[in-house]
Amino acid sequence: DTMVKPLDVTTSLLFPLWRFKEGEKDFTVMEITIKGLRDGRKTTFVFSLFDEADVETGMLSMARTTGLTAASIVRMLSKGLIDKKGIVPPEQLGMKKELHDTIIKDLVSRGIKIKEKWC
């Protein structure tokens, strides 16, 4: 009898497929569309993000977009800009304009392309 771990099967099947082939580039694309009411009127808000791996540092795009966001939050914590204690869902941080704007500014300053627009 041979014991097989599901995780081992999954990694052996998927990891080879996740390697970049010659000439392929790493990138992240995200678009969020929110439809609802604003001041009693129907409206749409679109958030778009695009990033590519940093060739100089070798940092992959997903690592940049998640890691740089976390670094921005740590900086705000160290400056006392976040007053919540314990586990704080990122969605709650984004609801405060000052925190949202700081994260966006930090990401854009590192070359991550972000667009926000009301339609």
Q: What is the mean pLDDT of each run of 10 residues along the chain (119 residues)?
A: 91 90 90 96 97 92 95 94 89 91 97 96
b/e burial code for range 87-96 (CB count within 10 A of at least 16 → b): eeeeeebeee
User: What is the pTM assigned to this prediction?
Assistant: 0.79
Residue 19 covered by a domain = no
The confidence score (pLDDT) of residue 62 equals 94
Task: Tell me which amino acid residue 116 is.
Answer: E
- The encoded tokens of residue 12 equal 């052996």
Per-residue pLDDT at 111:
95
Is residue 50 assigned to a domain? yes
Residue 110 lies in a domain: yes
Chain-centre distance of CA 46, in angstroms?
A: 15
Residue 17 lies in a domain: no
Contact 73, 50 (CB under 8 A): no
Residue at 109 is within a domain: yes
| In-domain check, residue 103 | yes
The reply to whether 45 falls in a domain is yes
Domain count, the chain: 1
Q: Which residues contact 11 (CB under 8 A, 6 or more apart)?
A: none
Q: State which residues form the domain around 107.
A: 26-118
Sheet order of strands, 113-118 included? 27-38, 41-52, 113-118
Task: Identify whether 15 is part of a domain.
Answer: no
